[in-house]
């Protein structure tokens, strides 16, 4: 185990002209400020991490910073009496690898405000198999149900279904009693998607939404991590008073639709901003993820385990569309 005064970190640097990201040795004094020093055990790879680590997205607001928007580990030291040395904790979003050092390091210093005690029912690795992706899927379910979504309304479709958010959403919604359908551009993964709970799988290449503002309805709700034309198409085919949880933009940030689905069918478009979710809701959702919403196929959804040195290759595959499910990072 590294001494906290000298440890390894995947650090991202930029001078506005060039971008560099690599494993470096750093000291605890260089870490972002915070009340809780964590000896990181696990992190994960998300699309946002790939954009940050390659410089293909404007994710980091200052440099240099350690990458990784998720972390889980044990408290090494704390100035907040609520946390003691040895406590198992996790943190997702909350400025990690955006405004402060993230989880791709053997140590991280985080604010106690955003530190979540590891709930009973999860171990540290499982918490990062979920990570931001699982929290996003759970927040989608929470927001949809708060706005009236029920299993009795009909099936909920999940786009980007072979990705981390997508696969976890299928499993989590199934656990909550919903009939989950999947849309994916990888038909070779349909058997896997059915295995984790998808009742019906649709190839993205075979979709035809139609071009009218309102088309024949197909689903009672949707969890969309794609955005762009996919999200626009969904607005035209959701049942009256159904919800669309918008939680990603892998397919583009523009939305070419009309107000008609909203004012005629009462469809609701819900923004899922997981990074800054209020602490009471954050704690509640992690309790759900450790119990009644815990995915039944979590280990099946984890497709890879990697270390800090191999992150660049993971990022390249992810941005090229080659990722499947979740990748956990062993720190």
**What pTM did the predictor assign?**
0.96
At residue 3, the pLDDT reads 56
Residues whose CB is less than 8 angstroms from the CB of residue 299 and which lie 6 or more positions away in sequence, other chains included = 129
- The yes-or-no verdict on residue 1 having pLDDT over 50 is no
Q: What are the pLDDT digits (tens) for 106-155?
A: 999 999 999 999 999 999 999 999 999 999 999 999 999 999 999 999 99
- The yes-or-no verdict on residue 224 having pLDDT over 50 is yes
Q: What are the pLDDT digits (tens) for 261-313?
A: 999 999 999 999 999 899 999 999 999 999 999 999 999 999 999 999 999 99
Q: Where in the chain is the domain with CATH 3.40.50.720?
A: 132-271
Distance CA 242, CA 50 (A): 32
Say if residues 160 and 133 touch (Cβ distance below 8 Å).
no
Say if residues 204 and 187 touch (Cβ distance below 8 Å).
no
* Mean pLDDT confidence for 225-254: 96
- The yes-or-no verdict on residue 2 having pLDDT over 80 is no
Q: Where in the chain is the domain with CATH 3.90.180.10?
A: 7-118+298-330
| CATH number belonging to the domain at 7-118+298-330, selected among 3.40.50.2000, 3.40.50.1980, 3.90.180.10, 3.40.50.1820 | 3.90.180.10
Distance CA 156, CA 231 (A): 14
Angle (nearest 5°) at CA 224 between 276 and 312: 70
Q: How many percent of the chain have pLDDT more than 90?
A: 93
Residues whose CB is less than 8 angstroms from the CB of residue 31 and which lie 6 or more positions away in sequence, other chains included = 37, 101, 105, 107, 108, 109
Q: CA 112, 117, 123, 127 torsion: positive or negative?
A: negative
Q: Does domain 132-271 have CATH number 3.40.50.720?
A: yes
- The yes-or-no verdict on residue 165 having pLDDT over 70 is yes
């Amino acid at each position: 185990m590294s001494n906290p005064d000298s440890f390894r970190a995947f650090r991202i640097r930029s001078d506005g002209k060039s971008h560099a990201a690599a494993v470096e040795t750093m000291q605890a004094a260089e870490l972002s400020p915070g009340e809780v020093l964590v000896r990181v055990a696990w992190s994960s790879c998300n699309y946002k991490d790939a954009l940050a680590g390659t410089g293909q997205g404007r994710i980091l607001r200052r440099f240099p910073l350690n990458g990784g928007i998720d972390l889980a580990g044990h408290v090494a030291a704390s100035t907040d009496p609520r946390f003691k040395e040895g406590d198992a904790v996790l943190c997702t979003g909350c400025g990690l690898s955006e405004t402060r050092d993230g989880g791709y390091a053997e140590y991280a210093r985080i604010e106690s405000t955003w530190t979540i005690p590891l709930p009973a029912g999860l171990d540290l690795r499982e918490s990062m198999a979920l990570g931001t992706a699982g929290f996003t899927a759970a927040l989608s379910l929470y927001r949809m149900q708060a706005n009236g979504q029920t299993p009795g309304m009909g099936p909920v479709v999940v786009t980007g279904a072979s990705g981390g958010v997508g696969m976890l959403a299928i499993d989590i919604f199934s656990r909550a009693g919903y009939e989950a359908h999947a849309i994916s551009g990888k038909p070779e993964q349909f058997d896997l998607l059915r295995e984790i709970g998808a009742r019906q799988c649709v190839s993205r290449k075979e979709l035809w939404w139609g071009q009218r503002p309102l088309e024949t309805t197909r689903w009672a709700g949707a969890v969309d991590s794609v955005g762009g034309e996919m999200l626009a198409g969904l607005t035209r085919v959701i049942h009256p008073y159904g919800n669309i949880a918008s939680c990603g933009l892998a397919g583009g940030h523009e939305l070419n639709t009309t107000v008609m689905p909203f004012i005629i069918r009462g469809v609701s478009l819900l923004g899922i901003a997981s990074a800054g979710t209020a602490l009471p809701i954050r704690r509640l959702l992690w309790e759900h993820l450790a119990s009644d919403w815990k995915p039944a196929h979590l280990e099946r959804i984890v497709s890879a385990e990697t270390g800090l040195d191999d992150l660049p290759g993971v990022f390249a595959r992810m941005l090229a569309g080659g990722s499947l499910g979740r990748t956990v990072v062993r720190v």
